[in-house]
Amino acid sequence: MLARFLNHHLRPYRGTLVLLVVLQLVQTAATLLLPTLNAQIIDNGVLLGDAGYIWGTGLTMLGVAAVQILTASGAMLLSSRMSAGLGRDLREKVFRRVMTLSAREVDQIGAPSLITRTVNDVGQVQSIVLTTADVAVSAIIMCVGGVALALVQDVPVSMILIALVVIVIAGLTFMLQRLSPFYKAMQSYLDRINHLLREQIIGVRVIRAFVRDQHERGRFDATNGDLHATSRRVGRIMATMPVMVMTVMNVLTIGIIWFSGHRIEDGTMQLGALLALLSYVTLIIVAIIMAMLVFTEAPRAAVSANRVNEVLQAESSIAKPRTPVTKTALRGHLELRGATFGYPGAEKPVLRDVGLTARPGETVAILGSTGSGKSTLLSLALRLYDVTGGQVLINDTDIRDLDPQALHRIVGYVPQKAHLFSGTIASNLRYGKEDATDDELWHALEIAQAAEFVRPLGLDAPISQGGSTVSGGQRQRLAIARALVRRPEIYLLDDCFSALDLGTEARLRAALARELHDATILLVTQRISTVEAASRVVVLEDGQVVGSGTHAELIGTNQTYREIALSQPVGGTVR
């Protein structure tokens, strides 16, 4: 899996890879040549007392060492460039893919896991590429070259070397296979830690208010403890590797010295050959240990590559239209026709056979008890999810046939939980219309009843991530202003007056009525005072429409509406 993954994603770096292997080959050949030259100096120079030979071969060794240094640093430069490039490419690919996924896939994989995959898992893959290119490639060349040169020195002694290298490689492979499930578990513990951290940092005020610090610390410690325990088990397996490698290699060295001693005594082998063979054994031991350090990370990188690949292969359940409709003849028409929808894994649909129509100039309020499916209904009109039955039509076109760009041009959305991005007030307001002028921003702020608090701060006042530096009510008004700047045909307002006092809400609704007299507004709310002025109210109960009409019509005829209305005090009295 890892090899296939890397083969695919390293395609743009094939040239670099070839150059890197060439440099590693030269570097390793230079390293391996030095013991051979050393053996020659001893046999032909030192033992025969030939100073000229010693000088000549010594200078050659200096030249070889210079080549070795230059090629090694060149290879390191290329490998770090290649791995950094791969990391950048993978993060970009994952980010782009996540941006195309629908809410359904994001829910399924989970936001914390997507973050771990983009940052940590890509980092693991990047790291294995760096160490493989830097260390493992030269280690493999060193092993093969070392064995080949040992064969040149003495075939019978080299056979012992080959047999033991095969035993070490087989033992290492077995151990690496055992590590894979632990690495899988470690990555999912990391997901969980990320999930807990996000939840606890975002919910820190609730934790303090309910004095749940101890409880939350316990939850965090439990997962952190699991990660720690798994890492220790991995560490224990890894700790046996050097023991095995070093034992085998020490036995090998003793065996070579013992066997070679007899052969030198017989006169079938020279002293220089023994010294060269011992140098090769050292080089091969070092190469195997280096490769082992890299390959112990391979199972973890394989798990990470798999997790990254899962995101890259994920297909959005919101299919792109085959022949997208980019222009519609009508403007501002929204219709749900027998719309049915169920969340994945849910026992029953959240919305059943919902029908409603909203036309330009109309404000259709959706009222219903909590959990009745109001926000879900807006999600369908935004195509965050596709209906499982029936249709959503915008300007008489099935939303599934509309070009996504056109859809998002037509529809403006103010979420229930106003979300702002880090930047400034102006950058948030221009989120849907980058070329909006300052005048347009101030106009939107005036209507959203936000100009008063923005004026002393200025449009360039900083906004922190999520908008935590402004109050809930201010955040809601900024989110309304952001939608107004775009001037869409249809506004989907999800309970976005909930944090406003009744006076501000009344002024805002009056300003919206003046400004958006020809727009279509679908307004989710729990407040009767908000729906009184609506052209029509649709009452939802348990995912079904149980009434539709004006406030005056429903108050007398609709039981659910009456119950909600009677439960809400107005001006200190109950209706």
**In DSSP terms, which residues pair with 573 in a beta bridge?**
570
Per CB under 6 A, 368 contacts ligand ATP = yes
Footprint (CB under 6 A) of ligand ATP, residues 428-447: none
User: What residues from 64 to 123 belong to the interface with ligand ATP (CB under 6 A)?
Assistant: 107
Contact between 370 and ligand ATP by CB under 6 A: the answer reads yes
Residue 453 binding ligand ATP, by CB under 6 A: no
Please select the residue that binds ligand ATP; options are 53, 220, 343, 421, rule is CB under 6 A.
Answer: 343
Q: What is residue 358's DSSP assignment?
A: E
Q: How far is the CB of 375 from ligand ATP (least distance, A)?
A: 3
Give yes or no for residue 347 binding ligand ATP (CB under 6 A).
no
User: Which residue in this structure is represented by tokens 């560490």?
Assistant: 235
**H/E element holding 295?**
helix 271-296
* Nearest residue (CB) to ligand ATP, 127 versus 388: 388
| DSSP secondary structure, 412-461, as one string | EEE-SS--B-SEEHHHHHTTS-TT--HHHHHHHHHHTT-HHHHTTT-TT-
Backbone φ, ψ for residue 540 (5° rounding): -105, 135
375 binds ligand ATP (CB under 6 A): yes
C-alpha–C-alpha distance, residues 132 and 4, integer Å: 15
Tokens of 211: 């004095």
Q: What's the farthest any 2 CA atoms get from each other in the chain?
A: 120
Strands 573-574 and 569-570: antiparallel
CB 363 within 8 A of CB 533: yes
> Considering only residues 82, 303, 336, 350, which one is a binding residue for ligand ATP as defined by CB under 6 A?
350
Determine, following the binding rule CB under 6 A, whether residue 372 of this chain makes contact with ligand ATP: yes
373 touches ligand ATP by CB under 6 A:
yes
Q: What is the closest distance, in whole angstroms, from the C-beta atom of residue 384 to ligand ATP in the complex?
A: 9
Q: Does 482 bind ligand ATP (CB under 6 A)?
A: no
Is residue 349 at the binding interface for ligand ATP, with CB under 6 A as the rule?
no
Q: Which of 113, 128, 135 is nearest to 176 (CA)?
A: 128
DSSP 43: I
Would you give the binding string for ligand ATP spanning residues 402-431, x where CB under 6 A is met? Answer: --------------x---------------
Does 194 engage in binding with ligand ATP (CB under 6 A)? no
Min dist. Cβ of residue 316 to ligand ATP (A): 16
- By C-beta, is 82 or 367 nearer to ligand ATP? 367
Handedness of CA 246, 249, 251, 254 (dihedral sign): negative
Count the Cβ atoms, other than its own, within 10 Å of residue 425.
Answer: 26
Q: Does 45 bind ligand ATP (CB under 6 A)?
A: no
Segment interacting with ligand ATP (CB under 6 A) among 41-49, 75-83, 142-150, 366-374? 366-374
Binding site for ligand ATP (CB under 6 A): 107, 343, 346, 350, 368, 370-376, 416
